[in-house]
Structure 1
Amino acid sequence: MAVVVVTDSSCGLEPEVAEGLGIRVVPLHVLVDGLDLREGVDEMPANLFVGAGITTSGASPGELTDAYAQALEDSDGDGVVAVHISRQLSGTWDAGRQASQELGEKVRIVDSRSTAMALGYAVLAAARVARAGGSLRAVYERAVEVADRGRVLIMVDRLDHLRRGGRIGTAAALFGTALAMKPVLHLVDGKLVLREKTRTVTKALGRLVDGAVELAATGTKELPGTASRDVAVAVHHVHAAERAEQVAADLRERMPDVGEFVVAELGPVVASHLGPGAVGVLVVPGGSDLPSSFDGGTE
């Protein structure tokens, strides 16, 4: 058979894309009004962001053990590579580590140190290597490589949702909301931290575009043999389609030959921590396409 790639529902991949590459997606959980809802499986309430009672939880060790065990069986022993949301943002990676210990060395876990399509592009890259006949080691190394290149910038309307969910420090949250700033955040070593403060949405969105262009250019220069087209980009949003489309249009104008480009709304797990109005941009210099030099690798 072939190595099977597993991820979680924060990855941002459309179901048909995941299915087409044989990627297994384990749902994360949204806890609201006493209900435990599985992202990507159960219907979410239309008023998800009303009130302060929303919480989220990662996949459990039991859920991941079942998913990994089935994937390992389906691989005919070739192995499983599980690529998950940053351990700084969710307990899913740690649950996956526990699950993998029960199943042995044929199951390998990757901390993407990110989420959404920054995770999704690493998953796609790993799945493409698996489909091309890559070994367990080759699939694992490709996932790690692409995940390491991902860079994420996020603008939120307010930091309240992040503060409630514990995803950013209380002091930073209070400072940002007190001055009515529009903060731009980024992921550093898998942790969401303040990058800069702007005074208006327009300026914040402009900084997302500027930052993404700079990151793409810098990252491409550091990768021998790559060009500007060898970049994967994604624009995400939470109930802010017009903002996202404007950001996407600006990015396409400034990076017209980008190879991979996705515009999509964030799933409810990540969205519940960012809140309505949020827009995120991620770039992966080098992209996620299978390298032309790939030869399948050896174990």
Structure 2
Amino acid sequence: MKKKIAWVTDTAALLDEKFIQDNQIHVLPLNIVFKEGALRETVDMTHDEFYDKLRTAKTHPKTSQPAIGEVVELYQSLKQQGYACAIAIHTSQHLSGTYLSAFTAAEQAQFEVYPVDSKIGSFPMMKMIELGQQLEKEGFEPAAIVERINELADHSKLSFIPSSLSQLHKSGRVTGLFKQPFKH
């Protein structure tokens, strides 16, 4: 008999609402910590509100993983809904503790979870979910699905081109050399 699998990720995947609804994805919000305090991404503020706040912030905000209690609560809810297990695809463990928290939360909720370190963020995470759900439809068992997703994670790359270096400067990722616009 095929196991009923829940699909879990975090807001680093940047999934749009239609994809979340169409694919029944459970999304844990990451916390964005501004000087005034923490806000849960997509819950306490929209992406547009985040970018507006980011533009005016004097210092770059930090991020924080979801509270362990939120993760435990989600897993308990999934268990009550009749899911046999969850495949949880999270942003790189080098960027967030969400992946590692999934193990602890699964143990506390007494729920079988297959955490996946995407080793990345954003669009490739959506592709990992799509691959996993396709494999699920084809009848693959959760462990085999995770093995294939891990192969994809090992070979995923993400490049981005910032429209401005100002946020990278605020975060300390580039020096003050780039603070002022170049003059011809």
TM-score bracket for this pair, using the shorter chain length: 0.7 to 0.9
Q: Size of the alignment, in residue pairs?
A: 170
Aligned to 2:130: 124
User: CA 1:75 to 1:48, structure 2 compared with 1: closer, same or farther past 3 Å?
Assistant: same
Normalising by structure 2, report the TM-score. 0.78
Q: Secondary structure at the match of 1:6?
A: strand
Aligned to 2:66: 59
Of 17, 22, 25, 1:23 maps to 25
- The percentage of counterpart residues that share the same residue type is 23
Aligned to 1:4: 6
Query: Displacement of 1:162 after TM fit?
Result: 3.7
Aligned to 1:160: 169
Q: What is the distance in 1 between the residues matched to 2:130 and 2:74?
A: 18
Q: Which runs of 5+ in 2 are unaligned?
A: none
Name the aligned partner's letter for residue 14 of structure 2: G
Aligned to 2:118: 112
**Which structure shows the higher strand fraction?**
1
Q: For residues 34-183 of structure 1, what are the structure 2 equivalents within 5 Å? A: 34-44=36-46, 45=49, 46-50=52-56, 51-52=58-59, 54-77=61-84, 79-104=85-110, 106-156=112-162, 157-158=164-165, 159-163=168-172, 173-174=174-175, 177-178=176-177, 180=178
Query: Displacement of 1:26 after TM fit?
Result: 0.8
Q: Which runs of 5+ in 1 are unaligned?
A: 182-199, 201-299
Normalising by structure 1, report the TM-score. 0.51
Aligned residues of 2:59 and 2:171 also touching (Cα < 8 A): no
Q: What is the distance in 1 between the residues matched to 2:55 and 2:161?
A: 17
How big is each residue's C-alpha offset from its partner over 1:189-231, in whole Å with a ceiling of 9 and x where there is no partner? xxxxxxxxxxx9xxxxxxxxxxxxxxxxxxxxxxxxxxxxxxx
CA RMSD after TM alignment: 2.5
